[in-house]
Chains A and B, each alone.
Chain A
Amino acid sequence: MSLRIVVTVKYVPDATGDRHFADDLTVDRDDVDGLLSELDEYAVEQALRIAENSDDDVEVTVLTVGPEDAKDALRKALSMGADKAIHVEDEDLHGTDAIGTSLVLAKAIEKAGYDLVISGMASTDGSMGVVPALLAERLGVPQVTLLSEVSVEDGVVKGRRDGDTASEQLQASLPAVVSVTDQSGEARYPSFKGIMAAKKKPVTSWDLSDLDIEADEVGLENAYTKVESAAERPARTAGTIVKDEGEGGKQLAEFLASQKFI
C-alpha cells in the first residue's frame, strides 16, 4: 500500500522581527526576514514520523502558497526529510485571504493527489487557525484537527484533541485533513546530510492557470474581508517599578488596593 501525505506550510515574517503593515494594509513581507512557520514544523515532523513508523510506501510532499521567497520554507521542510515540494506562486495571489488561500491549497492538494493532509494548528502571522477546517470542507473529507497525538494505521487516522472542556479521542477514515498542535512532539533539526539532500529534491512550481483558478477568485481585490485601518498600538505608559527590599509584596498589595483589586 502507499500513503500520500501532503503537508501544508507557510512562509511567515519572523515574529521576533519588527512586523508591520504595507501601504495596502497587507502584511509587509519585504522588510522582515521570513521563515517556515514554527507551527508548521510540527506538521512536517508528524508526517515524517508517520512515514518512519509505517510499513507502507509513504511519500511526503510539502506544499506552500506564497511569493518567491517562500521556497525557503519548502527547502527547510525538505531538509528535515520531506520527499518533494510544490510551490504555488502567482502575482494575482497578493493579498488573498483565508477563504481564497484554502481554495488554492485545496486545488493544489487535489492535483497532487493525497490520502492525508497535515497542517499546523495556525500560522504564526495571521494566526486565524481556520485553514485546516476550510480544507476539510472544500475537499469533502473528515476534519481531524488540533491533535496533540496522531497515528495512522490501516487507512484510519486517530488522535487526541485537547479542548477547552474535555480531551477527546478522534477517529476518521482516510482521506482526511489533520492539524497538529505544538504539543504533538518536538520538530527535528535538519541534519547536514538532510540539507545537502534537499538541494536535489524536486520542487514543482504551479501558477493559478495550472490549478484552473481564475484571477478574480483570489487576491486582495476579491477578498471576502477588508482591513479598513491598522494602527500601531500605543506603547503602554511606563509603569512603576520597585526593587524588593523586603517589602515588595506589601507594596504590590498597596498598588492592587489602590486599583480596587483588593
Chain B
Amino acid sequence: MAEVLVYVDHVGGVVRKPALELLTLARRIGDPVAVALGEGAADTAGTLAEHGAVKILTHDAAEYAEYLVVPKVDALQAAVEQVSPAAVLVSSSAEGKEIAARLALRIGSGIITDAVDLQASDEGPVATQSVFAASYTTTSRVTKGVPVITVKPNSAAVEQAPAAGAVEALNVTFSEQATGTKITSRTPRESTGRPELTEAAIVVSGGRGVGGAENFALIESLADSLGAAVGASRAAVDAGWYPHTQQVGQTGKTVSPQLYIAAGISGAIQHRAGMQTSKTIVAINKDPEAPIFDLVDYGVVGDLFEVVPQLTEEIKARKG
C-alpha cells in the first residue's frame, strides 16, 4: 500500500489532537508515515503508533525552535524524498499552512488548504472544503505532483489503530534559507486549563453584548460547567475584553465543535465564517432580529445576564 506522510504537530513530545485526526484520514489513503521534528520528537512515537503510524521519522535540531518555518520545510522535503508518498497531510494551523505551501512549491505539487474531509479515489485523494463563510461546500483534487493537503482540526475522529510505529531517523540538510528569520524570543501562552479552542467539543463565545472584560467571567463559568473552550467575537477582542488568540471568525480561529453557544453575538458574516460548520448551534441574544438566530438549533431571545447564569446553575445542578 502507498505511504502517506503526516506532519505531526507536537509540543515537547506531546502530540496535539489534530495530528491524530490526520492519522485517521491518512489511513483512508494508505499507510501513515509520521514526521516529528524538534525537541521531544522521539517521545511522540508511542502515541503515533497507537493511532496507526507504521513508521515515525524523527529529527531534532536547534534550528526548529530558533528559526521560522523553513527548517521544517527542509525536513518535510527530505521526508518526501525518502518515502515517495502518495500524499502529504498537515494540519491547518497558520504555521501548518505555510509549511505545506512552501513544500508544495518545492516539490512541484498542488496544495489544498483547510480541507474538512478527505476520501480516497482512483485519481488520488478528494478533499472537501467549506468556502465563502461556509455557505458553499466544494470538492477538489490536486492534479499535479504529490498532493499536499492541510486539514482543519475536528474534521475526523481520533481512532485507535495500533501499528508498527518503527522509529527511524530522518536525514535533514538545512537549506540556505533555513536561518533567514530568527525567533529572538518566545513567550508561551499561559494555559487556562480549558480545552484548546480549535480542538474543543464545546465552545462558548461572548460578544459585544457581554459588555466588559469583567463580565467574561459569566461566559467562563458557563464554559467550565460544560468543559468547554471560551471564544470571543472580534468586537469583544477589539474592545480588549478577551485575548485575540480566542477570536472566532475569519481573522481568528475556525471552530467546528459539536456544540457552539454564542452569547451577545450578532452573527456577522465574518463571525459565521469561523463557526458555521458547528454541529449544534445555540444563541442567546436580546435582539430577536439578530442574524445569528438564522443559524441556530435553539435560540433564547433574552438578556444574557439573566439567561447565562441561570443556564450555568441548571447545568451544575443536573450534573450534580
Contact = CB atoms under 8 A, between A and B. Distances in A.
Interface string B175-193: 0010011111111110000
Given A142-B177, A248-B310, A240 B140 contact: no
B300 A129 contact: no
Query: Which A-B residue pairs are the 8 nearest by beta carbons?
Result: A249-B310, A244-B302, A224-B110, A142-B180, A130-B101, A253-B314, A249-B311, A133-B98
Chain A interface mostly: mixed
A252 B136 contact: no
Contact of B114 (A98, A128, A228, A262): A128
Contacts, number: 258
A142 B313 CA distance: 52
A191 to B, nearest CB: 23
A140 B177 contact: yes
29 contacts: A19-B132, A21-B136, A99-B110, A99-B111, A122-B251, A128-B101, A134-B105, A137-B102, A140-B177, A143-B69, A144-B181, A145-B69, A146-B94, A148-B244, A164-B196, A166-B188, A170-B182, A170-B184, A171-B181, A225-B140, A226-B143, A227-B138, A230-B137, A231-B138, A248-B301, A248-B306, A248-B307, A261-B258, A262-B315
Given A232-B135, A257-B318, A224 B142 contact: yes
Interface stretch (B161-169, B206-214, B289-297): B289-297
A168 B185 contact: yes
A172 interface: yes
Contact of A165 (B98, B189, B299): B189
B244 A249 contact: no
B158 interface: no
A131 to B, nearest CB: 8
Q: Give the interface centre of B109, B188, B250, B293 by most chain A CB atoms within 10 Å.
A: B250
A110 to B, nearest CB: 16
Chain B interface mostly: mixed
Contacts of B94: 129, 146, 163-164
A1 B81 CA distance: 44
B182 A224 contact: no
Interface in A78-96: none
Interface residues of A, number: 82
A259 interface: yes
Contacts of A223: 110, 143
Contacts of B136: 20-21, 230-233
A236 B295 contact: yes
Contacts of B101: 98, 128, 130, 133-134, 137
